Chains A and B, each alone.
Chain A
């Protein structure tokens, strides 16, 4: 069964510093991997995805994520954090292929990112 883990409940970073939000996954085959962001009182917003190809994927708001197959990781990164990046971030995984079981996206428990001025 597929699963995803976000080992940090909270990450605190000073504005202007680089940030990393960690994610590891478990899935059979080559995974589809995603990052979503959730601002207070709003739904989840899609940030970026990895399906295939280049291991470094770029997404919205200057975020990027690196797929590492050997470490089964998909960490979210940004070179210079902004206070407005403060939000709840979810990593998600989906098994490859077709069918109802494959199309199900499994979300991690979330990491709260706090950027201090």
Chain B
């Protein structure tokens, strides 16, 4: 079974630029999550999708971050404009709808904002 795929693996941008990350969850997983993991901290949930609908985006900085999952499969997370404090690893995870406590994570995208 293929795991959660993410791209790119690494990205370096200057502040005020924009960036987008892509995630393809495990086939059949209805729930998709985006997490932000700052160095030295645990992952923090940014947004959770159930199929193509948003379940929880309470910790998403909506003035600069956006995410979509238009067809209920893959998803993109965008930052525009980026700030220095956005430097982090962005993790995508997926789960089945009835086992949301068992999440499978992708390798992450390491973003460096200079």
**Chain A positions 78-117 with a Cβ under 8 Å from a chain B Cβ:** 90, 92, 94, 100-101, 103-105, 107-110
Chain A residues with CB under 8 Å of B42's CB are 90, 92, 107-110
The answer to whether A105 and B101 touch across the interface, beta carbons within 8 angstroms, is yes
B25 is an interface residue with CB less than 8 A from chain A: no
**Chain A positions 26-61 with a Cβ under 8 Å from a chain B Cβ:** 32, 34, 36, 41-46, 49, 51
With A34-B101, A41-B107, A44-B91 known as contacts, the answer to whether A104 contacts B45 (CB < 8 A) is yes
The answer to whether A105 and B102 touch across the interface, beta carbons within 8 angstroms, is no
**Chain B positions 25-59 with a Cβ under 8 Å from a chain A Cβ:** 40-45, 48, 55-56
The answer to whether A46 and B102 touch across the interface, beta carbons within 8 angstroms, is yes
The answer to whether A44 and B40 touch across the interface, beta carbons within 8 angstroms, is no
Q: Which residue of A lies closest to B105 (CB)?
A: A43
Q: A: which residues have CB within 8 A of B?
A: 32, 34, 36, 41-46, 49, 51, 90, 92, 94, 100-101, 103-105, 107-110
Q: B: which residues have CB within 8 A of A?
A: 4, 6, 40-45, 48, 55-56, 91, 93, 100-108
